[in-house]
Amino acid sequence: MFTLPIAIAALLALIPYLAAAFFGDRLTSSIQRLSVTFRILAPAVLSIPYLIVASSNGMLRWYWLALYILMPMAIAAILVQVRKTDPLQQGDWREYLILISLGLTVDLRWFESAWPPHLAVFNKVLLLDAGIYGFLMLRELDGIGFDLRLKWRDLRIGFQEFLFYTPMALLVGLSIGFLHAHAVMPSLLQFSSAYAFTFLFIAVPEELFFRGWVQNLLERRMGRNAALITASVLFGLSHWNKRTVNFNWQYVLLATLAGFFYGRSWRKDRRVGASAITHATVDTVWSIWLR
């Protein structure tokens, strides 16, 4: 049930994400003027949504609260140090360690038992917030492109890569039985709502992680093309347990292929908004007409 405490917690969880997406430069400038100690302690506030949701549902546990306090602070402390030891931003092993930890935590649903049923999405958002704060506000990793003030060029690139991907996806997806055509016609409101939700809560978070962070950092170590392929494969593998308890090779294959075109969208101007357009369009079309 969507209660007032849950609404308040959702608002608090979304504020860092949306603030960074639309006012990132201004926010980063303000945070960098704070003391190092305060910068490291600040992300402890990300535990507040858990405190509100868990308390209102009788699920509050001190160890989960401690985790949601300490993990964002640990990420912040590590990336503050990385900023000093790797000023040229060539990619530090600790950055990869943070990404592996965040990725596995979400993909394997390690923390979801902390939340009531159907509210585990809070975990994904809070970990995303912790990553945003660390990589964008403290580390100031360049080339991420997390700016949702979309430009016409973002739309052109995003839809262009969708058109490039579609014939291959249909050929492969239909031949392996992953895609199933449905003759339905949703209303404009239904389509728009599905697209907006997919864009903000699925496409943007995943594109920020796999393209803005993973592909971005990998490029510094292995070059553009190898990074594109590696990030695409990692993106595909992150779908291994979707819609099944076993290894879903069909989903992995299609997601890897999709990830290649998402990566192309992102790297043209290094903008998450462009790849999120491709991603949201693919997911929305699939969920309505091809699932």
Task: Output the furthest CA–CA distance in the chain (Å, rounded).
Answer: 58
- Whether residues 9 and 126 share a domain: the answer is yes
Last residue of a domain, one of 105, 138, 171: 138
Q: Does residue 55 form part of some domain?
A: yes
pTM of the model: 0.95
CA–CA gap between residue 89 and residue 96 (Å, rounded): 13
Alpha-carbon distance of 258 to 205, in angstroms, equals 16
| Residues 29 and 126 grouped into a single domain | yes
Could you tell me if residue 66 is left (phi over 0), alpha (psi between -120 and 50 degrees) or otherwise beta? alpha
Residue 117 lies in a domain: yes
Task: Give domain status of residue 275, yes or no.
Answer: yes
Domain count, the chain: 2
Q: How far is CA 153 from CA 63, 135, 146, 217, 251, in A?
A: 46, 25, 15, 24, 30
Same domain, yes or no, for 210 and 277?
A: yes
Residues 163 and 206 in one domain: yes
CB under 8 Å to 112, separation ≥6 — which residues? 120, 123
> Which pLDDT score, from 0 to 100, does residue 114 have?
96
- Domain shared by 176 and 120, yes or no: no
Looking at residue 111, its pLDDT comes to 96
Q: Assess whether 231 and 198 both reside in one domain.
A: yes
Is there a single domain that holds both residue 279 and residue 247?
Answer: yes
Name the stretches of the chain with pLDDT < 70: 1, 243
- Count CA atoms closer than 13 A to 149's CA, side-chain side: 6
The verdict on 69 and 100 lying in the same domain is yes
**What is the predicted pLDDT for the residue at 201?**
94
At residue 291, the pLDDT reads 87
pLDDT value, residue 245? 73
Residues ≥6 apart with Cβ < 8 Å to 45: none
The closest alpha carbon to 194, from 182, 184, 186, belongs to: 186
Instruction: State the residue range of the domain holding 174.
Output: 152-290
222 is a domain residue? yes
83 lies in some domain: yes
Of 155, 260, 279, 257, give the one whose Cα is nearest residue 208. 279
72 in a structural domain: yes
Are residues 35 and 119 part of one domain? yes
pLDDT value of residue 169: 97
Q: Are residues 208 and 122 in the same domain?
A: no
Answer yes or no: is 147 within a domain.
no
Question: For residue 53, with 0-12 CB atoms within 10 Å meaning exposed, 13-18 middle and 19 or more buried, which class applies?
Answer: buried
Residues 188 and 121 in one domain: no
Q: Is residue 114 part of a domain?
A: yes
* Residues 79 and 189 occupy one common structural domain: no
